[in-house]
Amino acid sequence: MLVPVRRIVTHNDEEGRSYALMDNVATNVIGTLTELWTTGPTPHDHKTTEDTGAMSRTLEPASNGTVFRFFEIPPHSASAHLSLEEKQKAWSELFDKMGASHCQPDTSRDPGMHTSATTDYIILLSGQITLVLDKAELDLKPFDVVIQRGTNHAWVNRGSENALLMAVLVDAAGK
């Protein structure tokens, strides 16, 4: 079960007075991602009242856009009973569900390895997580920050509780 995320989206009325357009739990969940907000190409439209977080359907943002999300990684022990083939199948299905099967070019180090044409700003909020790279593994503690620049990586939770992370992905390719 993913942690419910209260999301407040502000807006200006016709007189330019600010108010809360939305104040509710974000409900757009894709796999382990809770989608909070997206933007398309700049300049961003502050006049829209559409819930752009609800429109997100893929791992990567729109061309020249952004996506803001929370994601959770369960403890590695939750899948320890699975064979390598079962883990690879589960990860493949998850990335397919996120419209991102093309983001797994090399999973030889870990079945969750992936890359995207984005610059990602990621903060570990709670729990513990290991960032697995092709040539290194780095243990993170809460409030550590990763600037992920289109590199192959995986997240492995060797702790006993879910790891909760926040991420902003910025399209770097201009698809």
Is the pLDDT assigned to residue 135 strictly greater than 70? Answer: yes
For the entire predicted model, the pTM comes to 0.88
Share of the chain above pLDDT 90, in %: 79
Mean pLDDT of the chain: 92
Amino acid at 123: I
| CA pair distance 17, 9, nearest whole angstrom | 14
Sign of CA dihedral 72, 76, 80, 85: positive
Confidence of residue 161 (pLDDT cuts 50, 70, 90): very high
pLDDT score for 1? 55
**If DSSP codes are grouped into helix, strand and coil, which group holds residue 89?**
helix
> For the domain that residue 4 is a member of, what is the CATH number?
2.60.120.10
Residue with tokens 């079960």, as numbered in its chain? 1
How many structural domains comprise the chain?
Answer: 1
Q: 108: which 2 tokens?
A: 């030889």
Structure tokens belonging to residue 109: 């180090």
Spatial separation of the C-alpha atoms in residues 32 and 55, rounded to whole Å? 16
Question: Which domain covers residue 109, as residue numbers?
Answer: 1-175
- Alpha-carbon distance of 55 to 57, in angstroms, equals 6
